[in-house]
Amino acid sequence: MKNLALLLITLFSYYTANACDKCVNYNNEDFKIKSASVKHDKKLGVTIWEIKVAGQAGATTPKKAGQLNGAPVLGYVFPTTLKPTDVGFNKTEGIVALALTSHPDFDDTPIWDENADGIFDNDGIIWHPHWVILTEDKRVPGGLSVKEFKKEDKSVILPKTAPNMPMYMDSPGFNVVTEGNSIKVIVPDYRINNQTNFKFDAVACFMEVNTGGNSTHTETGEKPMLGVYKVYAVASGNLSLPYNVK
Ligand SMILES: [Ca+2]
Ligand SMILES: [Ca+2]
């Protein structure tokens, strides 16, 4: 835990010192975090994760890039002290985060139809959750990326709800609700191994997809497949994951 906190503080110092030109467009009150909470509702057997912002939560979504390479992704992200195995991954190094994202250029929830129109591959812009494993990554200004693996790596375990992509990312399909200054996600207890005593933080950030020219991306390429390019706000101010489930 101490090592994780140190890593996060180092990363925080790193990414505040770097800039990203196009992410400036989204740096508004909708990503200015005022508070974050995770509440356990024992009667319903769920945790309710919430971020409150100064503006309208979820009202700002990315402008289409028109292609997958360079596609923008906006996120309200909860880094946690949960273990990768608590959310259905194999044991691996990194920070388990629940990321609420919007990205109009692509759909990565093939088994969910979040806008309920009968079409399963057109929901990318609708705010939806992902479990991700974040690792330090100096190739991007935000200093973090979603952990990738080689397609042939047989030791990798992904949840059954994960899209078919070579990175530690799941599309768990939890309900996301935006209302005024609040964005919430509802997580059934059994989907987090009944853990209700973890710590967390909240981050608003800009991410970007990199598939390389002609989809030549490799996990050790010039840029990560999904990297953090700009952090707009951190609830704790220093990414120390100080908050407890209430
Ligand atoms: Ca979908
Ligand atoms: Ca749909």
Give the three-class secondary structure for 67: coil
pLDDT at 212: 83
The beta-strand segments (E) located in the chain are 33-41, 46-53, 72-79, 95-102, 128-136, 144-146, 169-170, 175-179, 182-188, 199-200, 203-209, 226-234, 243-244
Residue whose structure tokens are 């530690």: 168
CA-CA distances (angstroms) from residue 205 to 27, 122, 152, 201?
Answer: 9, 23, 31, 13
Ligand with an atom nearest the CA of residue 112: 1
Q: Which residues surround ligand 2, an ion (CB under 5 A)?
A: 113, 115, 117, 119, 122-123
- DSSP codes, 155-208: T----TT--S-SBSEE----EEEEETTEEEEEEEGGGGTT----EE--EEEEEE
Instruction: Output the CA 152–ligand 2 centroid distance in Å.
Output: 31
Write down the pLDDT at residue 3.
61
Return the bridge partners of 46, or none: 41, 188
Any idea which ligand is nearest the CA of 111? 1
Q: What pLDDT is attached to residue 128? A: 98
Structure tokens belonging to residue 186: 């509802």
- pLDDT for 155 equals 96
Ligand nearest to the CA of 130: 1
Integer Cα distance of 14 and 2 in angstroms = 18
pLDDT of residue 102: 98
pLDDT of residue 199: 98
Looking at residue 91, its amino acid is K
Q: CB of 120 within 8 A of CB of 111? A: yes
What's the gap in Å between 64 CA and the centre of ligand 2? 17
The span from the CA of 65 to the CA of 77, in Å, is 22
pLDDT per residue as tens digits for the range 203-227 = 999 999 999 876 677 777 889 999 9
Please tell me the pTM assigned to this model: 0.92
Count CA within 13 A, CB hemisphere, residue 31. Answer: 25
Per-residue pLDDT of the chain (246 residues; tens, 9 = 90+): 556 665 665 565 555 544 577 888 899 999 999 999 999 999 999 999 999 999 999 999 999 999 999 999 999 999 999 999 999 999 999 999 999 999 999 999 999 999 999 999 999 999 999 999 999 999 999 999 999 999 999 999 999 999 989 999 999 999 999 999 999 999 999 999 999 999 999 999 999 999 987 667 777 788 999 999 999 999 999 999 999 999
